[in-house]
Amino acid sequence: MNKISNQFASIEQVTDQYLTRKSTDAASSGKGISFEEILKQKQDVTGSYELRFSKHAAMRLSDRHINLSQEQSDRLESGVMKASEKGIQDSLVILDSLAFIVNVPNRTVVTAIEQSEADNNIFTNIDGAVIV
């Protein structure tokens, strides 16, 4: 049977030799991209995050031949920003004769409806509304 020889005087020597800490973590090494820089990269030129349309919402707009003008898109973005500032999670955004249900944290338009088509003008599963 082989004897284990005592080559180390302390636990620190063992950890220094076998458990060397590699500075691969960007935060500890000072290298890499910070969270703030990544966040800034995700922002567009205007400083807001790009508003996305779900497949369902895009189909609704396409089926109804609704094309948002740049001015309407800007107003919709503004409405979503206002909802975000108030802490709204799921918002109804009314824009001209259109109604949009928007998941605010994800900045995603979930559905789009012409107000004339809304059944009884009842909207559920929202926690706030913005009229722009």
Tokens coding 9: 């005087």
Q: What is the mean pLDDT of the chain?
A: 80
Residue 85 vs residue 39, higher pLDDT: 85
pTM exceeds 0.75, yes or no: no
Give the distance, in angstroms, between the CA of residue 77 and the centroid of all CA atoms in the same chain: 14
pLDDT of residue 79: 96
pLDDT of 23 reads 46
Q: Is the pLDDT of residue 44 over 50?
A: no
Report residue 26 as tokens.
Answer: 């960007």
Residue 80 pLDDT: 95
Domains of the chain: 11-42 (no CATH), 52-131 (3.30.2310)
pLDDT given at position 8: 58
